[in-house]
Amino acid sequence: MNWNEISAAEAEKHPAYGFGGGLYIVYAITLIWVVHSAYIVFLDTNYELTKSYGYENFTMADFTSFIQIMLALPFLYLSVTKNPVMPSVSVSLFSLNWAIWFTFGMIRPEAFAASVVVSAASLFMILYLMRSVRVNVTYRHRVPA
């Protein structure tokens, strides 16, 4: 898609400007992902959830869950502050998270279903951040040509 650059003032007047629409869905998915990962790191002391995914290396599960929390935090902050680097940073971090989930999901058959769900959600989030008019107007100050 071709885009035309606009000023920040013009972007603020555009109907698609602001945090809303599909960004609420992306934000909610990210919050669920953070809560899930935080549960594994801090509350899954008997590793019941971790075991349900078929993992036997609990240290690796804790480590990857901690990394996933760290990968989500920039999006959670940058999106609500309307920082112009949010789309680029978030696409990179969500892509890395996708690779982590997909890799570990493929290792253990028990985690395959979760890996497919996370892959679909990650693909949706990445494509939304790359192609959304709202994201482009609000963060990149550009409109469709």
Per-residue pLDDT of the chain (145 residues; tens, 9 = 90+): 799 999 999 999 999 999 999 999 999 999 999 999 999 999 998 999 888 887 788 888 899 899 999 999 999 999 999 999 999 999 999 999 888 877 766 667 777 787 788 889 999 999 999 999 999 999 999 999 9
Please state the φ and ψ torsions of residue 143, each to the nearest 5 degrees. -125, 160
The pLDDT, as a whole number, for residue 112 is 77
Residue 51 lies in a domain: yes
- Residues 93 and 75: beta-carbon distance below 8 Å: yes
Number of separate domains in the chain: 1
Alpha carbons within 13 angstroms on the beta-carbon side of residue 106 total 6
113 found inside a domain: yes
Instruction: Tell me the C-alpha distance between 74 and 133, whole Å.
Output: 21
* Cβ neighbourhood burial of 19 (10 Å; 0-12, 13-18, 19+): middle
pLDDT reported for residue 81: 95
* Residue labelled with tokens 């253990």: 108
Structural domain that includes position 91: 16-144
Taking phi first (over 0 means left), then psi (-120 to 50 degrees means alpha), and beta for anything else, what does residue 80 get?
Answer: alpha
Whether residue 116 lies inside any domain: the answer is: yes
Q: What is the pLDDT of residue 128?
A: 97
CA end-to-end distance (rounded Å), the chain: 8
**Predicted local distance difference test score (pLDDT) of residue 107:** 65
**Residue 10 is assigned to a structural domain of this protein:** no
Which is it for the CA torsion 42, 44, 49, 54, positive or negative? positive
Asked, for residue 3, whether it belongs to a domain, the answer is no
